[in-house]
Amino acid sequence: MKLLVRNMARNTSEAELKALFEAFGSVQSCALVLDPKSGGSKGFAFVEMPKPGEAKAAVKNLNGKDVDGQRIRVKKADKTKDA
């Protein structure tokens, strides 16, 4: 299941994000969306978790969680808009 993580602090690393989600199961991929000019984070990312039950647990537990001073939003990625 592909998840969209929004409202992230710009200094949150891919490794930190992956570790957050691994607390709920296996993470297939984790990708910060980067600004092509600055190379810095745009404040959102995609996380893929192969097991739907683990992904749903991650959404339930991480949506609204404070990470690096920002309240992140986590939801299932919309294939038409977010992919």
Question: CA torsion 5→54→67→70, rounded to 10°?
Answer: 40
Which residues on neighbouring strands pair with residue 11, listed in sequence order?
A: none
**Tens digits of per-residue pLDDT, 14-58?**
999 999 999 999 999 999 999 999 999 999 999 999 999 999 999
Distance (Å, whole) CA 55 – CA 68:
22
Architecture of domain 2-35+49-72: 2-Layer Sandwich (3.30)
Q: Supply 22's token pair.
A: 């691994």
Q: What is the pLDDT of residue 80?
A: 59
Distance (Å, whole) CA 66 – CA 39:
24
Going by pLDDT thresholds of 50, 70 and 90, the confidence category of residue 79 is confident
Largest CA distance in the chain: 37
Domain ranges in the chain are 2-35+49-72
Q: Which residues neighbour 59 within 8 Å (Cβ) at sequence distance 6 or greater?
A: 3, 74, 75, 76
